[in-house]
Amino acid sequence: MSLDQSLDKILIIDFGSQFTQLIARRIRELGVFSEIISHKKIKKNNIDKTIKGIILSGGPLNVYEIKKYSFDSKIIQEGIPVLGICFGHQILSKINGGRVKQSKHREFGLANISKKKNSLLTKKFFKGKNSVKVWMSHADQVSKLPKNFRVIASSQNSKFAMVENQYKKFYGVQFHPEVTHTENGKIIISNFIFLICKVKKNWSVKNQKIKLIKEIRDQVGNKKVICALSGGVDSSVVAQLLNKAIGKKLYCIFVNTGLLRKNEEKQVVETFRRKLKINLIYVNAENEFLNKLKNISDPEKKRKIIGNLFIKIFERYAKKIKDVKFLAQGTLYPDLIESKSVTGSQTSKIKSHHNVGGLPKKMKLKLVEPLKFLFKDEVRRLGLELSLSKEIISRHPFPGPGLAIRMPGFITKNKINILREADFYFIKALKDHGLYDKIWQAYAALLPVKTVGVMGDNRTYEYLCLLRAITSEDGMTADFYDFKKTFIQMISNKIVNSIRGINRVVYDVTSKPPSTIELE
Ligand code: XMP
């Protein structure tokens, strides 16, 4: 993984903490660029003059399990200020000659820490109080301080909760200042970056816009770039960014798979071609997709067929454009970070099932990935800066295989039409009731089950509609949204009364895990 060498930064060395990305986001919120690199990847020669400070993250390891991490301690002897957080604090102490041992009292959750000495790191942190609540999550702790270090704050169970060597500018905190549970946590991070590392503000989405547009121009020159546009947030922001940078040299390809939501293709064409004047190639491949999916009910087969056909169509149109040299993709920063390799848990690999993943190798195209250093919330703000509508920016995620994976069993045109209507009513009701933005993702699905109902004096025998609405941070875990009874009753009535083909509605209350967000 290469580091961006154009901006001064705070480098975060990741030891596998679930909060590492949060540290980077906090620093960026303060207006300073920050980058994450795994402890496995960092080399001494990565430390260049753009690195104004280093943060060692927390992690699940024990500092004596040396085989599980290979960290060159020379990295932190370069005269650059260092802040160690939790495991980072322990490793910093150990490297400098201190000792770490398993604590008698493991601390998980809130603890009070009290001030022992004045320090630049804690300026305005205690705000005149004796103690402050912080978030702890550790089993080991520093048991002997290294030479020339002193204690600046302690908790009941962690004598060395905050320590410093002010001459070397090494600081260690046993708690997590990056989490919101820690009172005034942001002040610690701010003091470290501004008072100790003395960095200047260099990060805002506004100046990123200008920088990214320039970088795209530098990278692609007057060559042609293609981009698969889905109408989702990431591909929309990429498309608009490239549109601003290279105008008609950008060719966006939007494939109507026949598995889109109601009016989606019309909205995409209207927005991108007519309003934003983006060079858009609209491909109506509805029949091709539905033919290929005929009599297929296996979820993985559906996904494969759709993915392969998508690539084929994309290639077909890319060839027609001729002399294309680049492919633009909406890879985000979390897709790039391999930080979780230590814990073995997955990072937000939502993109891994992305449709165009297999394209570049086959087509020998170079990648343009302008969002690769951005977090999702930054991409959203960038989109607004680029005059994309709030509607595009706050859209719920929609999977590449579309309605096919929200329709277990066989896919027919009739079923798609029924599902489209149900989904339309559900999403409209969420928007009308001010619920859409409170929910991470919501959709209707059509189950391959018919049940008996009664409407007027007639018996009905129709499909079952499942509604799913979840809250989530990143799609990796999710919880169902707790609607009021009146809302769920209203939408159930609306769907059953308005749509021929559905006579029963159920609400999915499973979380992820053990379920997934989509049905297939
Ligand atoms: P699951 O069902 O795995 O979904 O819990 C997690 C998130 O990923 C989205 N998803 C996809 N996105 N192509 C995509 O671009 C896909 O094939 C795909 N499958 C699932 C899903 O909508 C949810 O937001």
Residue nearest to atom 10 of ligand 1 (CA): 399
Cα–Cα dist 334/237, whole Å: 17
From 86, 227, 252, 465, active-site residue:
86
Q: What is the pLDDT of residue 5?
A: 83
User: Which residues are CB-neighbours of 196 under 8 A, at least 6 positions away?
Assistant: 53, 81, 83, 120, 121, 169, 171
Structure tokens at 311: 């690539």
Cα–Cα dist 102/125, whole Å: 28
Helix pair 205-220, 233-246: axis angle to 10 deg: 60
**Separation of 81 CA from ligand 1 center, angstroms?**
41
9-196: CATH number: 3.40.50.880
Q: What is the pLDDT of residue 40?
A: 87
Cα–Cα dist 252/94, whole Å: 53
**Fold equal for 205-393 and 407-507:** no
Q: What is the pLDDT of residue 1?
A: 56
Residue type, 490: M
Q: What is the pLDDT of residue 350?
A: 31
DSSP state of 48: -
Buried b / exposed e along 65-85 (16+ C-beta atoms within 10 A): eeeebebeeebbeeebbbbbb
Cα–Cα dist 468/185, whole Å: 36
From 176, 197, 265, 421, active-site residue:
176
Instruction: Indicate which atom in ligand 1 lies nearest the CA of residue 478.
Output: 5
Cα–Cα dist 446/303, whole Å: 17
In CATH terms, the fold of domain 205-393 is: Rossmann fold (3.40.50)
Residue 448, preceding bond cis, omega within 30 degrees? no
Domain ranges of the chain: 9-196, 205-393, 407-507
Q: In 4-103, which residue ranges form alpha helices assigned H by DSSP?
A: 20-29, 87-95
Cα–Cα dist 486/493, whole Å: 11
Q: Please identify, in words, the CATH class of the domain defined by 407-507.
A: alpha beta
Please say if 176 is a catalytic residue.
yes
**What pTM was estimated for this model as a whole?**
0.84
Q: What is the pLDDT of residue 345?
A: 36
Question: Ligand 1, from 396, 517, 519: best to mutate by most atoms within 8 Å of Cβ?
Answer: 517
Q: Closest Cα to residue 82, out of 179, 149, 144?
A: 149
Instruction: Indicate which atom in ligand 1 lies nearest the CA of residue 440.
Output: 24
Q: What is the pLDDT of residue 343?
A: 37
Please say if 181 is a catalytic residue.
no
From 35, 107, 164, 178, active-site residue:
178
With a 6 Å cutoff on the Cβ, whether 399 touches ligand 1 is yes
With a 6 Å cutoff on the Cβ, whether 518 touches ligand 1 is yes
Mean pLDDT by 10 residues, the chain (520 residues): 83 93 94 94 90 95 79 85 96 93 82 96 93 90 94 93 96 95 96 98 93 96 96 96 98 98 97 96 98 97 95 92 94 72 36 46 85 93 96 95 97 98 98 98 98 94 98 88 98 97 98 94
